[in-house]
Amino acid sequence: MDILEIIGFVTGAACVWLAARENIWTFPVGIANNVVFAAIFVSSGLYAGAALQLVYLVLGALGWWWWARGGADHGRLEVRPTPRWAWPVAVVAAAGATAVLAVVLGTWTDSAVPFWDGLTTGLSLVAQLMLNRKWLGSWYVWILTDVLLVGLYVSLGLHVTAALYVLFIGLCLQGLRRWRRAQRDAATGSPASVAASDPAPVA
């Protein structure tokens, strides 16, 4: 059992657990997790996954700011339903990222699994951006991504990392339930604020 995998397990689980509770400390913990997993993925030939961790450093800083100052009057950002327009945009973005990364990884690197590496990378970027905006639908994308990653990591012999992502699935389900409740509470307590959010929202 690699020490990096253990550190990644602990920080990764803490990051998702904090996100499920809308705790802003999810971002600094997540940044530490990114550094660890970048090292793990490079050593395993998952180059898109490693590059994703570096992108997460930027997205983590952006999400940190959004959660703290991206709400009404530069206050705390609240959980919101996902806008209808976001879903087709997310599908197109994930598909485009997958196609580009699969070609790049398959042509110019020795990536073990260029298509799956590219697909999970594209989905992860979409999920993180949605999480940064506190859109409820981010958890659905994370669950799909984590299911795919469990199979990928098992096939590559990263069993501790695969176990972490099984745990992630459970934490994502918990996060989905908690965010649904938070969104319902916000709608009940302040209907005007929900009506003023993104148009035509869906779960």
Specify the pTM.
Answer: 0.81
Q: Which residue has the tokens 């199979």?
A: 151
126 with 72: CB under 8 angstroms?
no
| 203, pLDDT greater than 60 | no
Q: Which residues pair with 135 in a beta bridge?
A: 80
Residues 82, 15, 7, 60, CA torsion sign: positive
Domain parsing of the chain, residue ranges: 3-69+82-202
**pLDDT at residue number 190:** 53
CA gap 187, 142 in Å, rounded: 24
Helix, strand, coil % over all residues of the chain, rounded to 5: 80, 5, 20
Kindly report, residue by residue over 21-76, the tens digit of the pLDDT: 999 999 999 999 888 888 888 887 777 668 778 888 889 989 999 998 877 777 78
Angle at 25 between CA 46 and CA 80, to 5 degrees: 90
Cα 15 versus chain centre, distance: 10
Q: Which residues contact 175 (CB under 8 A, 6 or more apart)?
A: 16, 19, 20, 139, 142
* Residue 42 or 19, more confident: 19
**pLDDT at residue number 195:** 39
Kindly report, residue by residue over 75-110, the tens digit of the pLDDT: 788 889 999 999 999 999 999 999 998 898 888 777
**pLDDT at residue number 1:** 56
CA gap 201, 44 in Å, rounded: 40
